[in-house]
């Protein structure tokens, strides 16, 4: 065969592969093109993908990816696996019993850094949601005159250290960091002034009811459930601490992605498409609530989920509002993109509270964990997903501090309340 014929055949093959990928308006990226060349196929290596979740409102895109058939569209069968605790998610991810999971952003980075579990290189495929968590205080505190953070600060200061017990869901997780940040913004040191314990999300309300703690930070619907059961009230939402903060991610092990890159892309595409569907209309959100309220998923009443899912908040002590930063799953791709600065922020807080003993290379770790390459391939496969120009974003938190990822070490060491 002549050199010209060889070149012509190569061009034809490229055109064929690109044309095949273009069906439905999706196109292969250059990186994905290379994997197709190498493997001879872009078909998922695994057809059945077991994905863990905790019964929380923000598991919705994982659940709906399976329920609405977005998984089949992308060549896989997503098998959701209901887990009892974040510790169980950790153990099953690391053992390989789960392929991937709905997981706390800070927990994933804790595993990467060897905190609260054996060190394992991890991968963040996409962000599942922003906002939608809260801090609940017991009605007994309200009866004692506490209705907000200022009142709580006075009560804590007037009693011996450790008098009051608060719960969060995992030592390196998001809820521990929101609780710590909120308390510290009022001068309460979460390491010395209060007692902190770990409680799985579905067990929060019962533990508060029997008096095991006076406050907790958790995802919905377990804050609204405390109000519905007349046990507690919402003292703060997580979006009041950090508007449009990252929360859960679609996480897995780096080794799993390396062994199953096409499956990782297909899984991300399926969940990404589900996230876009949920955020597309109020009707879709209401349908999502009907599904996830079921026994197989969250196992609670629809009315406990639907209000805050639609941004309709009431705090249980007389205040109601439409929240401009309620839980969102897609928001034109802004939610879903695995921003490097988001991952870096959790490491700054792990350093602040003494979980990390040394300064990590924040940016290098985030580039390793947050698989922007896989995300971009999945976004292209889904089609019409905006990709931001920068891999960093900027935010101002409750204490007035700006976070943009530009100087993480200085940021981590800038707090007056820390270990």
Q: List helix spans (H) across 202-320.
A: 204-209, 222-228, 238-241, 254-259, 261-279, 282-292, 302-309
pLDDT computed for residue 14 by the predictor: 33
Mean pLDDT of 289-298: 98
pLDDT computed for residue 116 by the predictor: 84
pLDDT computed for residue 13 by the predictor: 34
Q: Strand, coil or helix: what is 397?
A: coil
pLDDT computed for residue 40 by the predictor: 57
pLDDT computed for residue 300 by the predictor: 97
For 27, phi then psi, to 5°, come to: -130, 145
Q: What is the mean pLDDT of the chain?
A: 92
Burial of residue 247, with CB atoms counted within 10 A of its CB: 0-12 exposed, 13-18 middle, 19 or more buried = buried
Q: Which of 373, 349, 226, 298 is nearest to 53 (CA)?
A: 298
Q: List helix spans (H) across 69-128.
A: 70-73, 86-95, 105-112
In the chain, where the domains are located: 10-39
Percentage, residues of the chain above pLDDT 90: 90
Residue 33: pLDDT over 60: no
Mean pLDDT of 109-119: 95
More confident residue, 1 or 192: 192
Mean pLDDT of 225-246: 98
Q: How far apart are the C-alpha atoms of 148 and 137, rounded to whole Å?
A: 9
Q: Strand, coil or helix: what is 40?
A: coil
Burial of residue 15, with CB atoms counted within 10 A of its CB: 0-12 exposed, 13-18 middle, 19 or more buried = exposed
Q: What is the dihedral of CA 348, 353, 359, 364, to 10 degrees?
A: -40
Taking only the tens place, the pLDDT of each residue in 176-232 is 999 999 999 999 999 999 999 999 999 999 999 999 999 999 999 999 999 999 999
- How many Å from the N-terminal Cα to the C-terminal Cα in the chain? 71
Sequence length of the chain is 419
- Cβ 377 vs Cβ 32: under 8 Å: yes
DSSP bridge pairs for 100:
51
Taking only the tens place, the pLDDT of each residue in 34-89 is 343 234 589 999 999 999 999 999 999 999 999 999 999 999 999 999 999 999 99
């Amino acid at each position: 065969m002549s050199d010209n014929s060889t070149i012509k055949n190569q061009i034809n093959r490229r055109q064929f592969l690109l044309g095949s990928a273009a069906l439905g308006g999706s196109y292969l990226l250059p990186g994905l093109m290379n994997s197709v060349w190498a493997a001879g196929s872009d078909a998922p290596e695994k057809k059945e993908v077991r994905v863990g979740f905790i019964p929380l409102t923000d598991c919705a895109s994982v659940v709906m990816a399976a329920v609405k058939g977005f998984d089949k569209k992308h060549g896989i069968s997503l098998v959701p696996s209901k887990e009892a605790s974040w510790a169980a998610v950790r153990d099953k991810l690391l053992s390989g019993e789960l392929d991937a999971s709905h997981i706390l952003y800070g927990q994933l980075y804790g595993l990467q850094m060897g905190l609260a579990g054996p060190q394992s290189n991890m991968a963040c495929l996409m962000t599942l949601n922003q906002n939608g968590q809260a801090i609940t205080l017991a009605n007994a505190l309200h009866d004692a005159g506490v209705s907000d953070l200022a009142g709580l600060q006075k009560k804590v200061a007037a009693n011996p250290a450790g008098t009051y017990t608060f719960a969060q869901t995992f030592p390196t997780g998001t809820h521990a960091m929101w609780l710590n940040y909120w308390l510290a913004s009022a001068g309460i040191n979460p390491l010395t002034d209060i007692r902190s314990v770990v409680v799985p999300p579905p067990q929060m309300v019962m533990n508060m009811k029997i008096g095991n703690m006076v406050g907790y930070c958790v995802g919905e619907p377990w804050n609204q459930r405390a109000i519905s059961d007349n046990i507690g009230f919402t003292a703060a939402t997580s979006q009041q601490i950090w508007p449009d903060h990252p929360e859960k991610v679609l996480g897995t092990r780096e080794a799993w992605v390396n062994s199953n890159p096409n499956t990782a892309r297909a899984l991300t595409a399926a969940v990404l498409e589900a996230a876009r569907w949920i955020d597309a209309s109020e009707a879709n959100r209401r349908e999502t609530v009907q599904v996830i309220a079921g026994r197989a998923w969250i196992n609670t009443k629809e009315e406990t989920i639907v209000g805050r899912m639609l941004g309709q908040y009431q705090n249980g002590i007389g205040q109601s509002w439409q929240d401009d930063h309620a839980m969102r799953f897609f928001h034109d791709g802004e939610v879903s993109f695995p921003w490097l600065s988001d991952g870096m922020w959790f490491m700054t807080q792990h350093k602040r509270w003494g979980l990390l003993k040394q300064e990590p290379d924040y940016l290098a770790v985030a580039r390793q964990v947050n698989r922007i390459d896989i995300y971009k391939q999945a976004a292209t496969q889904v089609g019409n997903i905006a990709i931001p120009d920068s891999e960093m974003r900027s935010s101002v938190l409750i204490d007035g501090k700006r976070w943009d990822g530009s100087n993480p070490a200085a940021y981590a060491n800038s707090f007056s309340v820390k270990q």
